[in-house]
Amino acid sequence: MRRYDEPARVEVDQSGSPVRIQAWGRTYLVVEVLGPHWEEQAPWWVDENRGKAIGELTVRHWRVRARGARRDAVVELTEQAGEWLVVGVED
């Protein structure tokens, strides 16, 4: 899996699951969510996180199968305080 830290626009369904990803100037359709998502807390003791509410420190992780123009790929996404990142791609 290649690792990234690429900002993305992600559309979600009513349950909060990703359905469409926009990154690198392209749009990808999520065709499958691979397992349940999981959550972790960003370190509250780091200066940049001091004073933030617990909700702002929650990092949600998703693994999805996404379809691009040429092929499908497994994409790892994170979401923290409404900001999405593509953190990994395996094709």
Residue pLDDT tens, the chain, 91 long: 999 999 999 999 999 999 999 999 999 999 999 999 999 999 989 998 988 988 899 999 999 999 998 899 999 999 999 999 999 999 8
Global model pTM greater than 0.85? yes
Q: What is the phi/psi pair of residue 48, to 5°?
A: -65, -15
Q: What is the pLDDT of residue 5?
A: 96
Radius of gyration (Cα) for the chain, nearest Å?
Answer: 14
